[in-house]
């Protein structure tokens, strides 16, 4: 009988990749359903963080190019 013989121990895995994939998928689905029911990510950000850009003013950038195209067509 060998007194110095070590026992072979198996390391236990914390979980299979499939298990973690299922857990992450369920959490993402729940978050998507909650955000989707409340109007999406942008409404969520505007509602809870109060972020609105009042300084934004849309600019018509196609107008000059349409004028040039119309002048060339004449």
Can you give the residue ranges of every domain in the chain?
A: 17-73
Q: How far apart are the first and last CA of the chain?
A: 105
Alpha-helical segments (H) within 1-74: 17-37, 41-49, 63-73
0.85 exceeded by the pTM? no
CA distances from residue 19 to 12, 15, 24 in whole angstroms, order as listed: 15, 7, 9
- C-alpha–C-alpha distance, residues 29 and 37, integer Å: 12
pLDDT, tens digit, 9 for 90 and up, residues 21-74: 999 999 998 888 887 776 777 777 777 777 667 787 777 777 777 777 788 877
CA distances from residue 25 to 6, 34, 57 in whole angstroms, order as listed: 42, 14, 39
Q: Is the pLDDT of residue 3 over 80?
A: no
């Amino acid at each position: 009988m060998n007194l110095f013989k070590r026992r072979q121990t198996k390391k236990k895995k914390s979980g299979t990749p499939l298990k973690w994939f299922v857990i992450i998928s369920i959490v993402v689905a729940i978050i998507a359903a909650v955000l989707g029911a409340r109007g999406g990510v942008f409404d969520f950000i505007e509602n809870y963080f109060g972020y609105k850009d009042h300084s934004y003013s849309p600019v018509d950038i196609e107008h000059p190019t349409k004028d040039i195209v119309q002048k060339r067509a004449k």
